[in-house]
Structure 1
Amino acid sequence: MRTHIVEIQIQSRYYPIYIKIGGIDMINLLRFLRLFCILILMGLTILQPSPKPVMADVTIAVNTTTDELNNDGDCSLREAVRASITNSVVDACPAGSSSDTDEIVLPAGVYTLTITGASENDSQTGDLDLSGKMKLVGAGRDTTIVQGGAGWDDRIFQVYYQVAGGTDVTFEKMTIQNGQTPNNENGGGIHVFGTSNPDDVLINLKEVRLQNNRAIGDDPSNGTGGGLGITNAPTITILDSLIQNNSARRGGGVFVAKAEIKRSVFTGNQANAGSALYIVQNQPALIENTTISGNGIGSDYSPQNYVIYSDFGPTVTIRYSTIASNNTASNFGGVYLGTGQIILQGTILSGNAINSNCANFSSPITSNGYNLSSDSSCNTYLNQSSDLNGTDALLNPLGFYGKTLPHHPPKPGSPAVTSPGSSCPAEDQLGTVRPASSCTRGAVQNALALLYLPVVTK
């Protein structure tokens, strides 16, 4: 039998290692080499550093609708918030994380706040004070409701800037209602404290209903942001949400600076200025695929009003939205621009106030085309060849029409239907695809444009 001498050199990190084996036949040589390779691979696996464990977000499941802060063995919404902001166990709620996002889960139910005591900032009494990275997720805006109870004298939520790591708070799939600011403060439903840097505080509303909140206290001349109000300049994102029946002196629906609002509805809100939205500061704001309808003046306010009020230098872009049937007591019921800039594209302005869809005293309103105004007040500003002025949009009344959010569908024969060449969003307010060749002006795509498609027959 023929034998072989095997000599192996392994170059380690510090010095070479020699292995010399003599007098081995071919079969045993192959067995040896296979075993040797297995041992080497095992050694490499053992010597590799252990992977760093991935930290999961903390989930805090609320299991009672009672507003309480005690040690009775359950987890209320107030206790869950306390567990998150203190990063400690509170009653049966697990401790929140100091570095990751805490997700507070709210099953279907009505969560009525009853522990009164405004102007306290640790969620022990009054409103629920949030900071850090946090998500509050309900089961749906029709089934998870967070509200102020009888005699409630505070807003529902207040969000603060957390210096370490910033603040990023999301409200999702819930209704927030019946908030009332104390001492004529801001933000009836939600109040957000920001900084001069919009990236320090991020607030997200997804599939949320903000309704019946007031930021006027006992004095209608004060208070901003009936549904949502800000201090300084946090970044606000509102998606697929309904802002209705809120009131404030300024910004009945919302009072915001840097903002992105898409596929949402503002209706029934009231204010002295900016009944739906009041947009301020030198920050960009985008309103897209959004219906703004039925907002106006209330009995608490003096007879002047603007549905969208832009002031103190923002650049507001309104794309493929419908601003219609807003009722005010002044001549300026649609879009008002104090300082800054408003850019309109693919937007319908119809039947707002007394002969006035547009009002501008000191700054430009710019058209990017494909807009429609039912009166002549926008003639100076809607000056592109694709714009339509003094034209009835032929809209149906505001309603749900079997969908999840109210809207104004165009009637058959509406001039808003089919705007070839327009650069519109891929979907409309309801999530319906907008065909590039037949894009409808306003917040919703014309249903007929989708139904009557070419049919190929043999």
Structure 2
Amino acid sequence: MSAAFKFIRAARVGLVLCSLMWLGQVAATTINVNYATDNSGPGYCSLRDAIKAANTNSAVQACPAGQVEPTIDVINVPAGVYYLAGGDNYWDEDDNVSGDLDVLGSVSIVGAGARSTVIVAPPRDRVLHLRTSAVALNISVQGMTLVGGNVADNPVVGGRNGGTALTSVTGSVTLKNLVLRGGRAQGGGNLASYTSTNAKLLVDNVTVTDGEATGSGGGIYTSGTATLRSNAPQMRNLTISGNRAPVGGGLTQSGLLDLNQVTITANHGGGIYTQSSVADGLWIANSIVAGNSGGSQPWDLYCQSSAYNAALIYWSMVNTRSFYCTLGESGAMPAADPLLTALFDFGAGIPVHALRPGSPGMGAGRPNYGDPDTNCLTSDARGVARAPLSCDIGAYSARYDDSIDSTADLPDAAPGDGSCAAINGACTLRAAAMEASASGGRWILSVPNGTYTLTRPLDTNNDASGGDIDIAPVAGKPALNFALIGQGDADDVQIVGGGTDRVIEVRGKFNFHDDDPSQSRPLAFALVNATVRGGRLSEDPFQIPEWNGSANGGGLLFNNGRYLLDNVVVRDNVVSRDGSGSGGLMVQLRPDVVVRPWGANTSISDYLPFSHGISMERFAVVDNHVLGSNGGTGGLLLSYYQPNSQFPAAIASIRNGTIAGNSAEYTGGLVLSGQYIGATYLTVTGNEATNPLSSGGAFLQAGLMANSLITGNFTPSGLKDCEVTPSFLGLGYILLGTSAGCAIDGDLTGNQLDVDPLLGPMELTSGGMPVYRLHQDSPALDAIPWQDCADPASGQPVLSDARGAVRPEPDGYVACTMGAVEGNAIPSPEVFSDGFE
């Protein structure tokens, strides 16, 4: 054979090999969804059609054909709301014809972010069923919120798990940057996962909330047959919160499972239930498992057997464990209050529990010792970088984007340049609000202790530069997350009005025309550890036209968006304009309006689920007043609009609050309007309405209430605690000093009507929180049985009161106290036989 011939043959062989390699590396198909309803028509591509195209490798409507494995196709799902439909019998339909979305091929499904891409389950099925029936299959889902799902009543027993999502993993499944919420199942209210011996499951930067299981695993149920640690399912930067089940309210696990930088809290029925039949089946590293309660097993960690080490715990806080638990521990922390905020979006659209200042979880994580399974991760659930040497434990890293470094009231020098800097270079409250509004994005700010007085007068030509602090996102900018985190207690950070305006206004909607998406701008605002006082509001030239010149919210005005008030006092604010209201705080909430894709070049507008809401935890609204004629609501007005009863929404929660000493012509203390409001553990007292026909305490139009005191409120005609119209749903354990005009429907268990609760005088805690304690003979003390101490509106445990003290009080009685303060009763005066004290 000649050298030339050998060369030619070698070249041909090389060409053939290159061709074969090229054939094995077929480019992935990118499928762009452009139709919001479940099934599209010619020329369009719906989400279900896109998944069909990827499953079958065939074109469906305008969706191009997917490629054969191992090629991973990509489905892009733009911002919008996607409601899945189904026929009469679709619980167990597994070919993606109706009901849930059955994913059968290698594909990456990519949304526009958890905040803006929302997929809603049909009435009787889940959202996603991921089925990697072959080792080669590779599925990932990222950047979206999956809502609802109900399979608990499926007549087929094997189909009752995974309310929102179900994964049957033989190959590889990745769930990343997701929110799963509101599912119901027998096992795994939001997620059930079954992994084979060599399968790979990764859950990363995910929040699982509001799930319910009739069996176990209210949030997640996971089971697998892996025997090697390298094949254990991995869950990282995961938050499991607000789920419920008889056992394993947060998570039920068997087989192997690795948890790292996880927060599991506020679940009813316990935090983790481990059923693992292998030693050290569960690894918990750099995590918080605390604040879970209720159900048949109220532990943070409950172990099925003590025959072997059920779990290894590394540098984690796992507070309460069942007596069955035999554990291996390294660097584990003693039981303590982790000082978590309520669940909230502190950036990236992934709700988390932030660590409040002083949390023992700060800096408690494991340094880099070369073990990737238990070391601190490089970033948290929001993508915020963690400290490289000693990270904060849990899914949230308490690192601030900036810090307020001056109490002066100076505007930002160049709004929109991305830097909080007043003309003197300092980052002031006003400069931070102006810059954040102009730039958008995440602004989590540290606020040092001090008094921040707003000295700049109202500027009728520039709302932001004078008067109140204005947070109002500019159109076309990234979604705004703005948080002010006081570094002390409620009275250590004082934000004081300057006498010409309210104190803080936050606006996410700029008119009331719901068909205009440009007027809804994504917004999340949090205020933690602060007092807001000294607002004086007589005019509001920047108010939206629909309010017809009224001036509302003497201390704070919130208009659309998502809000968190945690350990906040609103006091001594005044509205003096006729026809206006809400001396302390007005909250007006309507869902954002967004564009939904409706074909290649058209779109429609729709409401965005979970785009509006509020959580108020440990608060007081006291001594605020509306002085003008025809004014209403001296203290707090909360209006929460829902388009319809089927619209997915979170409960607007106000909890552990005192509303007292406020006044107005109509309704002195509190107005609640909205069926998705949950009011729990409130004390409403000492408020005044100057109109004798109104209610001194509360005006309840719609919503839910439990475990609360409304007493000692008055009008010129005498005591009048509340008024109900048209109906208000009680959930038990409500004490009314006077019940006339206040017929509360619903669960009447434990209600006390026309009863004196024996309240003491208003007191200030050491942190400046106004509270009212009960006398030791009060009928409201220990009136709530332990099993009913949870918040019935949300199902979440309530383990502290307005002072931050433990609820229920560890006094030997397994019961909770009605109102904002748990136990700690005032001793009744001793009365001697002669009648004198």
How high is the TM-score relative to the length of structure 1? 0.71
Separation in 2, partners of 1:142, 1:252? 23
Alignment partner of 1:290 is 2:262: yes
Separation in 1, partners of 2:365, 2:59? 59
Alignment partner of 1:254 is 2:227: no
CA 1:370–1:77 in structure 2 vs 1: closer, same or farther (change >3 Å)? same
How far has the Cα of 1:401 moved from its partner?
4.5
Separation in 2, partners of 1:47, 1:261? 46
CA 1:333–1:45 in structure 2 vs 1: closer, same or farther (change >3 Å)? same
CA 1:372–1:407 in structure 2 vs 1: closer, same or farther (change >3 Å)? farther
1:236 equivalent in structure 2: 201
How far has the Cα of 1:186 moved from its partner?
1.0
How far has the Cα of 1:247 moved from its partner?
1.1
Alignment partner of 1:211 is 2:147: no
Gaps of 5+ in 1: 1-9, 16-39, 195-199, 216-222, 297-304, 351-356, 375-391, 452-458
Letter paired with 2:125? D
1:349 equivalent in structure 2: 318
Q: Which whole-Å deviations, capped at 9, do the CAs of 1:76-111 have from their partners, x for residues lacking one? A: 111111111111111111111122112111111111
Secondary structure of 1:325's counterpart equals coil
CA 1:179–1:168 in structure 2 vs 1: closer, same or farther (change >3 Å)? same
Q: Which whole-Å deviations, capped at 9, do the CAs of 1:300-342 have from their partners, x for residues lacking one? A: xxxxx33111113251111111223223245632011224621
Letter paired with 1:243? V
2:723 equivalent in structure 1: none
Are 2:271 and 2:290, in contact at CA under 8 Å, matched by a contact in 1? no
CA 1:447–1:47 in structure 2 vs 1: closer, same or farther (change >3 Å)? closer
Instruction: Find 2:329's aligned residue among 367, 386, 396.
Output: 367
Alignment partner of 1:56 is 2:56: no
How far has the Cα of 1:422 moved from its partner?
4.2
Are 1:253 and 1:266, in contact at CA under 8 Å, matched by a contact in 2? yes
Separation in 1, partners of 2:131, 2:348? 35
Task: Show the 5 A alignment for 1:16-415.
Answer: 49=15, 51-52=18-19, 53=22, 54-68=25-39, 71-99=41-69, 100-116=71-87, 117-118=89-90, 119-149=92-122, 152-163=123-134, 166-181=136-151, 182-183=154-155, 185-194=160-169, 200-215=170-185, 223-231=186-194, 233=196, 235-248=200-213, 249-257=215-223, 258-281=232-255, 284-296=256-268, 305-314=269-278, 315-330=281-296, 332-339=298-305, 341-350=310-319, 357-361=320-324, 364-374=326-336, 392-401=337-346, 404-415=349-360
Separation in 2, partners of 1:437, 1:68? 51
Separation in 1, partners of 2:288, 2:93? 40
Are 2:183 and 2:189, in contact at CA under 8 Å, matched by a contact in 1? yes
Letter paired with 1:158? H
Secondary structure of 1:333's counterpart equals coil
% identity of equivalent residues: 27
Separation in 1, partners of 2:274, 2:49? 39
Alignment partner of 1:427 is 2:384: no
CA 1:209–1:321 in structure 2 vs 1: closer, same or farther (change >3 Å)? same
Which of the pair has the greater relative contact order for Cα pairs under 8 Å at 6+ separation?
A: 1
CA 1:121–1:368 in structure 2 vs 1: closer, same or farther (change >3 Å)? same
CA 1:405–1:323 in structure 2 vs 1: closer, same or farther (change >3 Å)? farther
Separation in 2, partners of 1:135, 1:406? 23
Secondary structure of 1:81's counterpart equals helix
Are 2:261 and 2:377, in contact at CA under 8 Å, matched by a contact in 1? no
Are 1:214 and 1:247, in contact at CA under 8 Å, matched by a contact in 2? yes
CA 1:414–1:226 in structure 2 vs 1: closer, same or farther (change >3 Å)? closer
Q: Which whole-Å deviations, capped at 9, do the CAs of 1:254-295 have from their partners, x for residues lacking one? A: 1113421111211111111211111112xx311111211211
Alignment partner of 1:12 is 2:4: yes
Are 1:344 and 1:367, in contact at CA under 8 Å, matched by a contact in 2? yes
Are 1:131 and 1:168, in contact at CA under 8 Å, matched by a contact in 2? no
How far has the Cα of 1:438 moved from its partner?
4.5
How far has the Cα of 1:244 moved from its partner?
0.8
Letter paired with 1:251? G
Letter paired with 1:293? T
Q: Which whole-Å deviations, capped at 9, do the CAs of 1:39-71 have from their partners, x for residues lacking one? A: x9xxx99997274334111111111011116x5
Letter paired with 2:258? L
Separation in 1, partners of 2:252, 2:57? 36
1:27 equivalent in structure 2: none
Secondary structure of 1:359's counterpart equals coil
1:384 equivalent in structure 2: none
Are 2:94 and 2:102, in contact at CA under 8 Å, matched by a contact in 1? yes
Secondary structure of 2:55's counterpart equals helix
Deviates more, 1:413-422 or 1:245-254: 413-422
Letter paired with 2:315? G
2:637 equivalent in structure 1: none
CA 1:65–1:373 in structure 2 vs 1: closer, same or farther (change >3 Å)? same
Deviates more, 1:329-338 or 1:80-89: 329-338
Deviates more, 1:203-212 or 1:224-233: 224-233
Letter paired with 2:172? L
Letter paired with 2:164? G
Deviates more, 1:184-193 or 1:138-147: 184-193
How far has the Cα of 1:11 moved from its partner?
4.6
Are 2:132 and 2:139, in contact at CA under 8 Å, matched by a contact in 1? no
Letter paired with 2:220? V
CA 1:369–1:67 in structure 2 vs 1: closer, same or farther (change >3 Å)? same
Secondary structure of 1:49's counterpart equals helix
How far has the Cα of 1:441 moved from its partner?
4.3
Are 1:348 and 1:442, in contact at CA under 8 Å, matched by a contact in 2? no
Are 1:370 and 1:441, in contact at CA under 8 Å, matched by a contact in 2? no
Are 2:211 and 2:218, in contact at CA under 8 Å, matched by a contact in 1? yes
CA 1:46–1:441 in structure 2 vs 1: closer, same or farther (change >3 Å)? closer
Letter paired with 1:12? A
How far has the Cα of 1:417 moved from its partner?
3.7
Are 2:74 and 2:109, in contact at CA under 8 Å, matched by a contact in 1? yes
Letter paired with 1:56? A
Q: Which has the larger radius of gyration?
A: 1
Separation in 1, partners of 2:127, 2:394? 33
Equivalent residue pairs, number: 366
Deviates more, 1:97-106 or 1:329-338: 329-338
CA 1:146–1:370 in structure 2 vs 1: closer, same or farther (change >3 Å)? same
How far has the Cα of 1:160 moved from its partner?
2.3
